[in-house]
Structure formats: structure tokens, C-alpha cells
Structure 1
Amino acid sequence: MPADTPPVPSAIPADDVVVAFRTQNSNIRGRLVRLGATLDQIVVPHAMPDLAGRALSEALALAALCGSALPQGGNLNLLMRSDGAVSILVADYTASGRLRGYARYDADKVAALAQSGARPDTASALGNGHLAITLDSGPGQERYQGVLAFENAPLSATAAAYFQQRESLPTFIRTAVAEQYVATREASEPGTRWHRRAGGLMVQSVGTSVDEGASEQDDDWKRVEMLAATVEDIELLDPALTVERLLLRLFHEEAVAIERVIPLSSFCRCSREKVENVLLAFGATELSDMLDDNGKIVVTCEFCTARYEFSLDELRSAGG
């Protein structure tokens, strides 16, 4: 018998990537995101409870899916405010493929949900609120913001409803978040370490209006939407399942064409100079009120958790 043909290595990275694709037989646009190390870089430094971390991870995956649809040079901001245990989520996507985000939460409410029995989902942590999506298509273009209310709904469902209702774009979105333990190679840290993963799939019928009624385009959309809905969480998260194989598994009858591959990375805009300039806008009395017990003004970036310490003498010197 002939020997088995060795598997062909994937040309697309297994993690930290958005893949834009099109179904050639039905002309439906889609994007698939996978986040690994980049997610750790953003979420882990905040040392937040698991439920808040999962909510932020979902928001980052969603920002990557939606932001990568913008023209090159476009940016997207996703802001969620709610009355739930996780009260604020912020996720930014900037060209090309850079992500940052943070979450605010009530530790007591999060702990109460975690102790309530079954593992709570992110929808229960968000409660009722509003999701605002701000789109910036690039230089010379006007910024646009849309806001949609939600009630105990996952972020992915709210975002899909936003595109459906506000943009008249039939949209399907599914995101998944999980934690796993992976082997460490560092001699100083043998064994395993905790690792967070996120994945997501988004398909849109760009050429179809939800008000058009029955048509050939509508039939194409319904067929692709049904195929997309068969995706399972493990398929979105498993790095051993290549992007090419997953798209073929889901849409093999639609003849998928990959159009763009966008690597993802973490970033932050903060710097000591920027923080110093903000502090210099305050008066001497206000700055004195900011001093901690060690006589320092300490500012922590909400996005990357970087700490900046200043003394009054330093600020007086910088302010001339």
C-alpha cells in the first residue's frame, strides 16, 4: 500500500489572525478570527475574575471581526455599558490588526454569579444596557456611531442585530471563548500554564437588504447562514483545525475564496509623556490631592495596566 501523504502545512497562522473570505457560488462575505497569545497579552495583566475576562475576550474577538471589514486604515471602537456585573467593556481595533481593551466590573456581583451554581454565561454578566459601535473609515472620512439597546443578550447577538436593524445587512455572528492549560517550555516555569483562547465567525449578505423579500439572493443568504450556524465552539477555538480546513468543512459547496489575511497584535497608546501632559493641565492644589502615602502621583493605564509615577517636583520641573 502507498504511504499516507503527509499533511500540507497551513499557509495561515493558527492563532492571532483574521481571515476575510467570500463564498463564490453565493457571494456572501465572511470573516473568521482566532485569538491566542494576543488575547493573553491584553487580558491577563488585568488579573480579573474569569467571568469578566471571558466578557472582555468576547468583545475583543467581536472588535476584530467587525473592524477588519473596514477599508485599510479604518478603526473601530466597541463600547458596552450595562447595569450588570460587568458594567463597561471597551475594545478597539485599529489598522492593521491591532487590538486593545479593558473591562470594569463589580467584584461582588461577579463573585455572586460565579457562586450561583452553573457556570454563568457572559449574557448574565452584562444584564441590560447599550452597545455603541464607532466606525472610522480612515483619513478624510466622517466617523459614524450606532447604538443599540440589549437585554440579557450575548454581545455577538447584539452586534448582529445592530447590522441587521441599523445597516440593513443580514448578519450572522458566533463567538466562543475558552481557557486551557498548555505546556511551558521555560526551565524556570515547568509544567503547564493557564491560557485563554477566543474565536469567532461572521458572515454578511452585503448585497442583500432585509426588506427585499424572497429572491435568489435571499435564498443564497439563508443557505449560507444555516451552514454558518452549524459551527461549534471547539471548531472556532481548536488551533489544530486549520482555518482552510474549517472553511472547507462549513462551506465546501459554496466554493470559498480567501481574500485577505490580517495578523493580530496587542497595542496601547499610553506613554509617560502623554500622562505627564494630562497631569500638567491640573492646578497645584489638585495635584497635591492626588498624592499617595508615598508622596507620589500614580497613574495606571486602563488598557495595558502600565504604571506611571510622578513626584510634584518632577511635574513642576516639566511645567516650567
Structure 2
Amino acid sequence: MENYINAPAGDFVLPFDVVGAGIRGRLVRLDATSARALSVHALPEAAARVAGEVLALSVLLGTALKLDGRLTAQTKSDGPLDLVAADYYGATEDKPKGVRAYARYDANAELGEKPLFAALAGEGSLAITIEPLRGGQTYQGIVPLSPKGIAVSAETYFEQSEQLPTLIRLAAAPVFHAGAKEPTWRVGGLMLQATPGVARGEDDWDRLAALAGSVEDVELLDTALSAETLLWRLFNQEEVRVQPAEEIAFRCDCSGERIAAVLQSYTEEERSGLADPDGVIRAKCEFCGTVHEIGKATVS
């Protein structure tokens, strides 16, 4: 491709097509973006891995839809990690494509050092909610959580709601920095999917899914390994066409004005019960950690 610029080391999604096979894909790797998104809450390593995987999934799905609004990937379950949510936002005139995440974990749970996903999450569901900004209707698809993890649950979502052969691989890992007390988090993912309405050879899907499925977690996460080199490793016998990489930032659209608007529907007595001794209502965003201060005059 003329004037093609390689994908950055991190914080991107790279769309690609396997030419002639009727199969498309996306490769995501988040670094500073995932570090910021997962920094608000102190989670055990196993729980943070799941939150990172949900974050990567939201980017794969949201960018594949070319969404101008919001896509939410959310788990609800009865295990210690009973809620994980990640929001992907499409780009607007003044804001970039971006993601944020939240996870809720019972700190009193005793699961050992490396609990399996089934022990962390328990039984529950994965919901994908799509909210277009302009036109279109809100859509939600819900599938049971697979004990095998987020990727398998997402594959089930596509099997049931879209009837499209889909392979998803997700990875997340802590990155330790010299002198830092806590690690940051890096996440990655690969999605391969049959292109609707495009003819394929009888064995094209099985062959390419086997190749994509061989990707290692470290390959998805290694910022020293370029995205283009990774695709060549996986599909060097195929003709792969890449599109320009799309940058992904951390983004939280929380708003003190929206909180104030909600509080205006409360009675003065109800609002006083929410206020601190100085009369100010302080609401902390669970996604970004911002504390919004709403004074009495704002909601009067």
C-alpha cells in the first residue's frame, strides 16, 4: 500500500483482510490506554486479567462496527468478580476513539494465587450493548458466561446472534517498571471473522482459524513486535491486506453536569442526605476516579 504507515507499538487496532478468502480480522494492542483504564481500582492479578480482556474485546467489537456511539461489554455473575464493564466510544468531532473499564471484586474472597476464570466469575452472562449516536436503535445481545473465559463467551455471542464464524483471542498481563510499586497493565486481542455475503473455499475458514488460533499471549502483548510482523508470522502463506491502524485512547465521558441534572429530580431532603457536612455532594466516577463536586446552588 502506498504511503502506508506502520501501526504504533501500542494503543491501536489494526484492521486486515485475508485476500480472496472472504475473511477479515482485527488486531488490538493497548498499553498506556489500558494502564490508565485499569489503574482506578486495585484488583488481584487474576481479576485484572479478566478486566483487561473485556477491555480488549470492547475495542475489537466497537471498531469492527465503525460505531459512532458507545458499545458496552459487560459481565454479571455470582462469583467474587461479579461485574466487569468496558465502554468503547466512537470518535466525535472533538474526542478520539476511546475506552474505559470498571470491575467489582469481593476482596474477602479466598481463591488462592491463580484461580480459574470459572472460580472468579462463577455463573452469569456476557452482555453486548450497542448504542448508536445518530440513527439506529439500541441493541443488546446476552449469552451465558463460558467457564472457559471471556473469549469463548464472545465467540458464543457471534454464533448465536450473528451466525458468523468468529475466532477471538484475548490476553492481558502486568508490566513491571523499575522503581514503581505497582505494575501497569497491557492488553491485546485478535479477532478473525467470516465476511458476510462473501464466498469462501471449503477449507478456508478452518485453515485460517487454526493459524490465528496459534497466536501466543506474549505475541499479542509484546510492544517490540510490530503488528505487521505478527500478522506475517501467522499468515505468511496467505495474502493479507492491512488497513491504516486506528489509535485508541483512554476516554471517560462522565459529567458533573449530568449528575447535577439527575439530582434536580430529587427532593431537597433527599439531596441533603447525600451531601457531606459542608453541603457539597461528591460523586466519584467508578471508571476514571474523578470526584465531581455538586454544590447546593447547582441543583436548586
TM over 0.5: yes
Q: Is the 8 A contact 2:11 2:31 kept in 1?
A: yes
Q: Report the equivalent of 1:13.
A: 8
Q: Report the equivalent of 2:241.
A: 257
Q: Report the equivalent of 1:162.
A: 157
Q: Report the equivalent of 1:94.
A: 89
Note the alpha carbon deviations across 1:182-240, whole angstroms, 9 max, x for none: 34xxxxxx57862211111110012379xxxxx95341001000001110111111111
Q: Distance in 2 between matches of 1:76 and 1:29?
A: 20
Instruction: Give the AA of the match of 2:196.
Output: G
How does the TM-score come out when normalised to structure 2? 0.89
**Is 2:79 the counterpart of 1:84?**
yes
Q: Report the equivalent of 2:121.
A: 126
Give the 3 Å change call, closer, same or farther, for CA 319–193 of structure 1 in structure 2. closer
Instruction: Give the AA of the match of 1:37.
Output: A
Q: Is the 8 A contact 2:49 2:171 kept in 1?
A: no
Q: Is the 8 A contact 2:284 2:291 kept in 1?
A: yes
Q: Distance in 2 between matches of 1:264 and 1:83?
A: 32
Q: Say which SS state the counterpart of residue 152 (structure 2) adopts.
A: helix
Q: Report the equivalent of 1:212.
A: none
Give the 3 Å change call, closer, same or farther, for CA 236–268 of structure 1 in structure 2. same
Q: Say which SS state the counterpart of residue 65 (structure 2) adopts.
A: coil
Q: Is the 8 A contact 2:28 2:188 kept in 1?
A: yes
Q: Distance in 2 between matches of 1:135 and 1:274?
A: 21
Q: Is the 8 A contact 1:25 1:254 kept in 2?
A: no
Give the 3 Å change call, closer, same or farther, for CA 195–10 of structure 1 in structure 2. farther
Bigger mean CA offset, 190-199 vs 92-101: 190-199
How does the TM-score come out when normalised to structure 1? 0.84
Structure 2 segments unaligned to the other structure (5+ residues): 92-96
Q: Distance in 2 between matches of 1:69 and 1:208?
A: 16
Q: 1:143: how far off?
A: 2.2
Q: Distance in 1 between matches of 2:172 and 2:142?
A: 24
Q: Is the 8 A contact 2:146 2:152 kept in 1?
A: no
Percent identical across equivalent pairs? 39
Which one has a bigger Cα radius of gyration?
1
Give the 3 Å change call, closer, same or farther, for CA 59–191 of structure 1 in structure 2. closer
Q: CA RMSD in A?
A: 2.3
Q: Is the 8 A contact 1:71 1:137 kept in 2?
A: no
Q: 1:147: how far off?
A: 0.8
Q: Report the equivalent of 1:194.
A: 183
Equivalenced residue count is 292
Q: Distance in 2 between matches of 1:274 and 1:70?
A: 27
Q: Say which SS state the counterpart of residue 50 (structure 2) adopts.
A: helix
Instruction: Give the AA of the match of 1:108.
Output: N
Q: Report the equivalent of 1:243.
A: 227
Q: Distance in 1 between matches of 2:138 and 2:258?
A: 24
